[in-house]
Amino acid sequence: GAVVSQHPSRVICKSGTSVKIECRSLDFQATTMFWYRQFPKQSLMLMATSNEGSKATYEQGVEKDKFLINHASLTLSTLTVTSAHPEDSSFYICSARRAQETQYFGPGTRLLVL
């Protein structure tokens, strides 16, 4: 199946710093990418939907100025957590989809903010 990668897989940062997470579709062009976060023992929560070349659509309650999403190409989307705080510690997962096909999920990035 199609492959989606995320980098880094794990990051620890100090409170107040910004962290960038990359999501790449390795063997297909993704017209749409999705960013999720997941708290322990909970299901995935959609943060935003990103279409290449246009602004991301954020879900209700997700601060767009805090979680900056850039989908600059058909194979790369980035999520930047700005001025991170301990409550931003979570597991962040991206997925990528081409046309009307299935979503392919990345391996996730575990963020710990100290």
Partner 1 sequence: KNEVEQSPQNLTAQEGEFITINCSYSVGISALHWLQQHPGGGIVSLFMLSSGKKKHGRLIATINIQEKHSSLHITASHPRDSAVYICAAKIQGAQKLVFGQGTRLTINP
Cβ proximity to partner 1: between 32 and 78 the closer is 32
> Is 19 among the residues that bind partner 1 (CB under 8 A)?
no
Strand order in the sheet with 19-25: 4-7, 19-25, 76-81, 67-73
Considering only 19, 67, 108, 111, the residue that binds partner 1 (CB under 8 A) is 108
Cα–Cα distance between 34 and 37 in angstroms, integer?
10
Provide the phi-psi class of 23: left if phi over 0, else alpha when psi is between -120 and 50, else beta. Answer: beta
Q: Which stretch binds partner 1 (CB under 8 A): 13-21, 38-46, 62-70, 80-88?
A: 38-46
93 touches partner 1 (CB under 8 A): yes
Q: How far is the CB of 9 from partner 1 (least distance, A)?
A: 9
